[in-house]
Amino acid sequence: MNWYVLFVMGGKEEKICEFFKQENIHAFLPKMEVLYRKQGNFYPKEKLMFPSYVFIESDLEHTAFHQKLLDVKQKKKGIIKELKFDDEGTPALTQEEKELIEKLIGRSKVMKHSIGYIEGDQVIVTDGPLQGLESKIIKIDRHKRRALIEIEMLGRIVNLNVSLEIIKKIGL
Domain range summary for the chain, segments of one domain joined by +: 1-93, 113-172
Q: What is the pLDDT of residue 71?
A: 86
Evaluated on CA atoms 37, 39, 45, 49, the torsion sign reads: negative
Q: Provide the b/e sequence for 43-80 (b: ≥16 CB within 10 Å).
A: eeeebebbeebbbbebebebeebeebbeebeeebebbe
Global pTM? Answer: 0.86
* Cβ contacts of 42 within 8 Å, gap of 6 or more: 35, 36, 145
**Is the domain 1-93 a CATH 3.40.630.10 member?**
no
pLDDT digits (tens, 9 = 90+) for 15-71: 999 999 998 889 999 999 988 888 888 888 999 999 999 999 988 888 888 888 888
Return d(Cα 104, Cα 136) in angstroms, integer.
12
